[in-house]
């Protein structure tokens, strides 16, 4: 797919961006150009120590902000594919800095869409979050708006050979801001703060997240919101997996948090299909019907009233399974204390 093609990753210095770059360079040695677009020059410098332009001549580091549409247009010259990972993501920070999240997550997404239409980009995959489904916090609301923008862009792209799709998934174990690294740091104190003992979250590995994004880049028809089939875990089980001897202290839910996360709501079920390894939420105004889409992709429609919720998910990770994942994906020397 990417042989002799050019790809740009917005927010390319983040956890997923770095994992994507590593996998793409391994899988597509003949990629023409791989552009890491982000606003943090220090992170780009650190990343260039690993993926240097000397060792990987196809790699380029492009400083810019998705709030700047002119900079985006310049960066997208000669680009075939885009993975949009740039976003502000911290839930509490969004509650107290709403306009900043709106400028980046919503207006920045609109800038990217316009810039892609003004250049010769062929395909865009935007990264979303489980918090965008039935959002109750500002962060989730901005990502839902972003999702809607990318889905709607397929309707006004005109005759351009261009499609937009979205990948929506849960927490990435070990990513910046996730609960596992936080508990790993706090366990030395002998006390782990729990916002609510009932709280559950979806979990996806960096590897599976990368695989899903590349799959969507290759297989999207335009307008889908792809959702992975992934396990859930109890936050208390994560705490016990990391430090069974620590005291768990209930500190209350933070601003904008949910007890359980949702990726497909009951209302979404009318437009959702099962693709086997993934679900897809289709747009209401899809150029082709759901039945036609199922015929093309060998998908099946989900039952009316279906929802995909981290609390009712039949697939839950045990404490021991969480320990194995932490050792595999976060810290190979990890031992519970």
As a whole number, the mean pLDDT across the chain is 94
Q: Which residues are catalytic?
A: 131
User: Could you tell me which residues are beta bridge partners of residue 61?
Assistant: 36
Q: Which residue has the higher pLDDT, 171 or 51?
A: 51
Nearest CA to 121 out of 152, 155, 160, 156 is that of 160
Is residue 287 predicted with pLDDT exceeding 80?
A: no
pLDDT at residue number 105: 98
What residue has token string 């050019």? 6
- Angle (CA) 82-85-91 rounded to 5° is 160
Q: Which residue has the higher pLDDT, 90 or 66?
A: 66
Share of the chain above pLDDT 70, in %: 99
Q: Which two tokens stand for residue 272?
A: 């959702």
Band of the pLDDT at 177, cuts 50, 70, 90?
low
Distance CA 1, CA 3 (A): 6
**Six-digit token pair at 201?**
């979250």
Nearest residue to 129 (alpha-carbon basis) of 121, 117, 113, 141: 141
User: Could you tell me how far CA 125 lies from the centroid of its own chain?
Assistant: 10
Report helix, strand or coil for 68: coil
Sort 85 into a burial class: Cβ within 10 Å, 0-12 / 13-18 / 19+.
buried
Per-residue pLDDT tens over the stretch 29-42: 999 999 999 999 99
Domains and CATH numbers, the chain: 6-170+204-229+262-309 (3.40.50.720)
Say if CB 7 and CB 34 are below 8 A apart: yes
The three-state secondary structure class of 35 is: strand
pTM score: 0.93
Average pLDDT of the segment spanning 72-87: 97
Per-residue pLDDT tens over the stretch 201-257: 999 988 999 999 999 999 999 999 999 999 999 999 999 999 999 999 999 987 778
Quick check: 197 and 203 in contact, CB under 8 A?
no
């Amino acid at each position: 797919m990417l042989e002799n093609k050019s790809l740009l990753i917005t927010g390319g210095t983040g956890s997923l961006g770095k994992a994507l770059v590593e996998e793409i360079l391994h899988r597509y040695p003949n990629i023409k150009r791989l552009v890491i677009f982000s606003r943090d020059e220090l992170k780009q410098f650190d990343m260039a120590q690993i993926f240097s332009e000397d060792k990987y001549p196809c790699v380029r580091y492009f400083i810019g902000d998705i709030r700047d549409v002119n900079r985006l247009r310049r960066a997208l010259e000669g680009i075939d594919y885009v993975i949009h990972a740039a976003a502000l993501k911290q839930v509490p920070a969004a509650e107290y800095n709403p306009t900043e999240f709106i400028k980046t997550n919503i207006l920045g997404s609109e800038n990217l869409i316009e810039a892609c239409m003004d250049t010769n980009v062929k395909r865009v995959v935007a990264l979303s979050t489980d918090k965008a489904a039935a959002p109750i916090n500002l962060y989730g609301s901005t990502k839902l708006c972003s999702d809607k923008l990318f889905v709607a862009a397929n309707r006004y792209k005109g005759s351009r050979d261009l499609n937009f799709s979205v990948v929506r998934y849960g927490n990435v174990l070990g990513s910046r801001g996730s609960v596992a690294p936080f508990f790993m740091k706090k366990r030395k104190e002998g006390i782990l703060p729990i916002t609510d003992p009932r709280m559950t979250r979806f979990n996806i590995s960096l590897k599976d997240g990368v695989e899903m994004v590349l799959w969507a880049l290759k297989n999207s028809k335009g307008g889908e919101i792809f959702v992975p089939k992934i396990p859930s875990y109890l936050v208390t089980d994560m705490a016990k997996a990391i430090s069974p001897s620590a005291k768990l202290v209930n500190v209350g839910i933070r601003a904008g948090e949910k007890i359980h996360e949702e990726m497909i709501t009951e209302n979404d079920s009318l437009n959702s299909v099962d693709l086997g390894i993934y679900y897809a939420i289709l747009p209401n105004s899809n150029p082709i019907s759901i039945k036609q889409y199922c015929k093309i992709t060998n998908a099946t429609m989900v039952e009316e009233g279906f929802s995909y919720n981290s609390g009712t998910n039949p697939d839950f990770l045990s404490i021991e399974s969480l320990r194995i994942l932490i050792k595999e994906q976060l810290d190979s020397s990890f031992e519970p204390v």
